[in-house]
């Protein structure tokens, strides 16, 4: 039964993977906006957009 192992692996790795991916994604957006447009608020904009997306997903249940 693969569902048992997949659920176990998900719960095991989410506390490790989630912060690393979140920081990497925000820093990539920050780098792109800084190099191309010299905007110092790229990571903040990224976090705000991710939060709005999360709220919309929870509200409409995608």
Q: 21-33 in b/e burial notation, b at 16+ Cβ within 10 A?
A: eeeeebeebbeeb
- As a whole number, mean pLDDT of residues 45-58 equals 90
Say how far apart CA 61 and CA 47 lie, in whole Å: 20
* Spatial CA neighbour of 18 closest among 54, 59, 60: 54
- Supply the pLDDT for residue 17: 79
CB–CB of 30/46 below 8 Å?
yes
What DSSP state is assigned to residue 41? T
Say how far apart CA 59 and CA 22 lie, in whole Å: 22
Per the prediction, the chain carries an average pLDDT of: 82
What's the whole-model pTM score?
Answer: 0.63
- As a whole number, mean pLDDT of residues 32-56 equals 90
């Amino acid at each position: 039964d693969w569902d048992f192992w997949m659920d176990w692996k998900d719960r095991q790795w989410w506390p490790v993977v989630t912060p690393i991916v979140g920081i990497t994604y925000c820093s990539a957006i920050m780098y792109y906006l800084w190099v191309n447009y010299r905007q110092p608020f790229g990571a903040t904009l990224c976090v705000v957009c991710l939060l709005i997306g999360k709220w919309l997903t929870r509200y409409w249940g995608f």
